[in-house]
Structure 1
Amino acid sequence: MEDNNPATSLQNLSRRELRDLVRSQLQMLLEQDNLQGAKALLVPVQPADIAEAIEGLPETMQAIAFRLLSKDEAIEVYEYLDYSVQETLVEELKRQEVLDIVDQMSPDDRARLFDELPAKVVTRLLAQLSPEERSATALLLGYESGTAGRIMTPEYLSLKETWTVAQALARIRSLAHVSETIYYLYVTDEARHLTGILSLRALVIAQPDQIVGEIMTREVVCVQTGTDQEEVARMIQRYDFLAVPVVDTEQRLVGIITVDDVIDILEEETTEDIYTLGGVQSGDDSYFETNLLTVARRRVVWLFVLLITNTATTAVISSQQDVLQQVVALAFFIPLLIGTGGNVGAQSSTVVIRGLNTDEIRKGKAGRVIRREAIAGAFLGLMLGSVVLVWAYFLQGNLAVAIAVGVSLVAISILASVSGSALPFLFQALGLDPALMSAPFITTVVDVLGVLLYLNVARLILDI
């Protein structure tokens, strides 16, 4: 007999197929007002996949689908939802439903939600939270956005040096359900100063009567509350931590940052760098949620800058009219040369900017990196120039013009590689984001200098 239970159709599917199927079936069942079927559909689905399915629904259905979840599941799913959907649900759900969910969220997730909500809504929700949760959230909101203090959670486990292993394990059992993680245990003194760290594994294999101070590690890697969130992410990535402790200026332990938060930070920072590299201002909203006028406004700033800069190329060509008038064939190869030069420069800048952002390349190595890129540019120029020389001679039948084009391409490749690698270091030294020295800007700079170089090389070779 055929089984029509929607839940059984979710078995043996890939994650992508599962998400697509849940989204389409959930919408179909809601359109048919089959709430029991929709509820049964969501039973075996993971919270993260439920959140994605709800995000894919029409806005009018999102609150209905969310209400099908049990209270505990709703709290977990809510933390996975996009901020725009969270904000919609805050407005759609009854006040008590919202309070129950927000009050049960982890403080760091709640603080991020409050960053996105209107100030009036935040004030109302804060006032109605339990005193403990209100205090924890206010603590995080008091730190500057983008810092360790703002993204940390105060839900951690701390031990005392004088406790026995048995006492420590008893504390873990009693508090594990309200802690973000129990795999790293932090040791503090009576004034909450961080004095050591202990892994759960080390604690479990120790003898029950051993003292925590005997088995803990006193060399602790930690961050200050004011540390930039990107630096925190790099630290966790570098040391393969599951979490890192956060201390205030007096070395008192105030929270921890876990690896799941770092993944979100890395995604945000990478997205911001990609936008910047493309000459686009980053925004918090997703593409389809952003007004087209806003999309255009974010892009037009860089385009205006590049438009004005490109007029320099026109000025250079105008100043060299006598060369072009005498040998018109030279004009045919300008697009080829500046296009290739721009691509070479963009490659160099991309490699250097990415290296700077991941700390693979450090500021002290600028000279070495620029030399390497200059040599690489020379090799690229020789390989490309030799091909272009033959091609130019085949097209024009003029050896002098072909040599001018080939030699110019070698010089432009070196120039582009040096510019593309040096300018990000210059921006970093000036305290600016190296990603601002993006591919469009490098291409424009190389266009101007490349044309000037090409026409002067041609003047020398052709003896004009």
Structure 2
Amino acid sequence: MTENPPSSWQPGASRQELVELVRSQLEALLQQENFPGAKALLVPVQAADIAQAIEGLPMAMQALAFRLLSKQEAIEVYEYLDSSVQQSLIEELKDQEVLDIVDKMSPDDRVKLFDELPASVVQRLLQQLTPSEREVTSLILGYKDGTAGRIMTTEYLSVKEDLTVSQSIDRVRSLASATEIIYYLYVTDAQRRLTGTLSFRDLVVAQPEQKLGEIMTRDVVYVHTDTDQEEVAQVIQRYDLVAVPVVDTERRLVGIVTVDDVLDVLEEETTDDIYKLGGVAAGGDKYFQTNVFTAARKRVVWLFVLLVANTGTATVISSQEEVLEKVVALAAFIPLLIDAGGNVGAQSSTVVIRGLNLKEVGIKKAAQIVSREAVTGALLGIALGLAVILWAYFIEKNLQIAITVGTSLFSITMLAAFFGSALPFLFGAMGLDPALMSAPFITTAVDVLGVFIYLMIARAILQI
């Protein structure tokens, strides 16, 4: 909560309501060309909230609002802005204004920005950075995308273990403004190899004359520069860390990954998985910030695949026309059966994919998990099958048709649960992303098999 919130601010309102109030008042002041009032409005507001308010403004006003900020505020707010807004501001601002911001950004945030910019713009900005910032940025850009090296920052506190507590506190004071966090100190030897860690709390409660080697933790949790970013997030979560050190192949400390960067990684990975589960091609751009042609392109590939797969259902029905011609009532229950099977398959695939992503289950437990889901599918099939037998008999007044529908639903449900749980494991074993075995794909596969099973059971029970 800000100390001096905008006018009309109601105590107890949410942070989102505050941001919307700031945005609306800011837009009104800019329209009136009341720039002193607009600047005063933003003074007490948090940087993250200013960024969100600017993002909500019409594009023509975004650069105008941004220029109202002081240099230090502009640097902080810029790091919170969406990448699309960052890019548009680079086009609107003067070269010196851009350079002042980019040069002062955290190295990891600067690299995120550069990843979104055209290569020609990146090269121009790199050449204009100070030598030290250029070296750091080039180092991080040199690591593979999606690894710890690519999301780390080099702004950390390192100390030697022969320093005293008093000397270390003096070092923290002198370097605090140049580091991203001061909660941890990383102890290194003469070759910059990581030998221990020390929390700021441990430092404060220790005796001033004690050596760091006496009080530091030697059992260090760390990741390598080539560690996958999702694994980095899991390490931070597992050990409840605010940051995790990053080392190279010789265990030399090269950076740290902080929890705020991990939250970005988790959002990115979760978004990617959700897109795949929904049958949408993943991409770096935010979906609602892309134009309609790009949005259509992201979705059309899977839809074409599913369209081709769905022709299997039509082929099965066409090959069994004689069954449907003799007992036309069977056709009325096809949507019910394939929808139920698709839903069960989607449920099974979703829980398994989620378990694989969270490392709650692994390939070694595949047989156990698939068996469990098959049994679950059988229990669901019994419950749904009995219900649909009663419903089908009520509609058709034909016990054979009712039993056919109920038996088919039981078989389809059990099969859907089996395939829905087994296929993500199969994809994982093949080195593919289990999320590719998405709900739309499972549903389509179950549709084809479900119709085939239904008509085969109808042949057997109705003796067609």
Q: TM-score, normalised by structure 2?
A: 0.97
Counterpart for residue 8 of structure 2: 9
What is the alpha-carbon distance in structure 1 between the residues aligned to residue 113 and residue 10 of structure 2?
Answer: 33
Task: Give me the CA root mean square deviation.
Answer: 1.2
Correspondence 1:447-458 to 2 at 5 A: 447-458=447-458
* Structure 1 gap segments, 5+ residues each: none
Correspondence 1:238-387 to 2 at 5 A: 238-387=238-387
Structure 2 SS opposite 1:7: coil
Question: How far does the alpha carbon of each residue in 1:19-38 deviate from its partner, in whole angstroms, 9 at most, with x for none?
Answer: 11111111111011010111
Question: How far does the alpha carbon of each residue in 1:2-45 deviate from its partner, in whole angstroms, 9 at most, with x for none?
Answer: xxx98343462320110111111111110110101111111111
What is the alpha-carbon distance in structure 1 between the residues aligned to residue 39 and residue 111 of structure 2?
Answer: 30
What is the alpha-carbon distance in structure 2 between the residues aligned to residue 293 and residue 125 of structure 1?
Answer: 31
- Does the alignment pair 1:214 with 2:220? no
* CA-CA distance at 1:462 after TM superposition: 1.6
Question: How far does the alpha carbon of each residue in 1:242-272 deviate from its partner, in whole angstroms, 9 at most, with x for none?
Answer: 1001001111000000000000110111111
* CA-CA distance at 1:284 after TM superposition: 2.5
Query: Does structure 2 retain, via aligned residues, the 8 Å contact 1:329–1:396?
Result: yes
Counterpart for residue 150 of structure 1: 150
What is the alpha-carbon distance in structure 1 between the residues aligned to residue 457 and residue 135 of structure 2?
Answer: 70
Counterpart for residue 32 of structure 1: 32
Structure 2 SS opposite 1:333: helix
Correspondence 1:383-402 to 2 at 5 A: 383-402=383-402
What is the alpha-carbon distance in structure 2 between the residues aligned to residue 51 and residue 255 of structure 1?
Answer: 27
* CA-CA distance at 1:117 after TM superposition: 1.2
Residues 7 and 335 of structure 1: is their aligned pair in 2 closer, same or farther, counting only changes over 3 Å?
A: closer
Query: Does structure 1 retain, via aligned residues, the 8 Å contact 2:243–2:258?
Result: yes
Counterpart for residue 441 of structure 1: 441
Query: Does structure 1 retain, via aligned residues, the 8 Å contact 2:5–2:45?
Result: no
Is 151-160 or 86-95 further displaced after alignment? 86-95
Counterpart for residue 188 of structure 1: 188
Query: Does structure 2 retain, via aligned residues, the 8 Å contact 1:6–1:37?
Result: no
Is 93-102 or 343-352 further displaced after alignment? 93-102
Query: Does structure 2 retain, via aligned residues, the 8 Å contact 1:377–1:414?
Result: yes
Query: Does structure 1 retain, via aligned residues, the 8 Å contact 2:423–2:437?
Result: yes
Structure 1 SS opposite 2:8: helix
Residues 357 and 205 of structure 1: is their aligned pair in 2 closer, same or farther, counting only changes over 3 Å?
A: same
Structure 1 SS opposite 2:6: helix
Q: Residue type of the partner of 1:121? A: V
What is the alpha-carbon distance in structure 2 between the residues aligned to residue 379 and residue 334 of structure 1?
Answer: 21
* Structure 2 gap segments, 5+ residues each: none
Counterpart for residue 167 of structure 1: 167
Counterpart for residue 65 of structure 2: 65
What is the alpha-carbon distance in structure 1 between the residues aligned to residue 207 and residue 41 of structure 2?
Answer: 48
- Structure 1 stretches (4+) deviating beyond 4 angstroms? none
Percent identical pairs in the alignment equals 70
What is the alpha-carbon distance in structure 1 between the residues aligned to residue 214 and residue 363 of structure 2?
Answer: 41
Structure 2 SS opposite 1:255: strand
Q: Residue type of the partner of 1:285? A: D
Correspondence 1:94-105 to 2 at 5 A: 94-105=94-105
Query: Does structure 1 retain, via aligned residues, the 8 Å contact 2:6–2:21?
Result: no
Structure 2 SS opposite 1:180: coil
Counterpart for residue 201 of structure 1: 201
What is the alpha-carbon distance in structure 2 between the residues aligned to residue 80 and residue 233 of structure 1?
Answer: 20
Q: Residue type of the partner of 2:92? A: E
What is the alpha-carbon distance in structure 1 between the residues aligned to residue 288 and residue 25 of structure 2?
Answer: 23
Question: How far does the alpha carbon of each residue in 1:71-124 deviate from its partner, in whole angstroms, 9 at most, with x for none?
Answer: 111110000011111111112112111111111100000011111111121111
Q: Residue type of the partner of 1:62? A: Q
What is the alpha-carbon distance in structure 2 between the residues aligned to residue 141 and residue 128 of structure 1?
Answer: 16
What is the alpha-carbon distance in structure 2 between the residues aligned to residue 8 and residue 301 of structure 1?
Answer: 50
Structure 2 SS opposite 1:370: helix
Question: How far does the alpha carbon of each residue in 1:159-204 deviate from its partner, in whole angstroms, 9 at most, with x for none?
Answer: 1111111111111111111111111111110001111111111111
* CA-CA distance at 1:443 after TM superposition: 0.3
What is the alpha-carbon distance in structure 2 between the residues aligned to residue 73 and residue 334 of structure 1?
Answer: 62
Query: Does structure 2 retain, via aligned residues, the 8 Å contact 1:193–1:252?
Result: yes
What is the alpha-carbon distance in structure 1 between the residues aligned to residue 87 and residue 336 of structure 2?
Answer: 51
Residues 257 and 6 of structure 1: is their aligned pair in 2 closer, same or farther, counting only changes over 3 Å?
A: closer
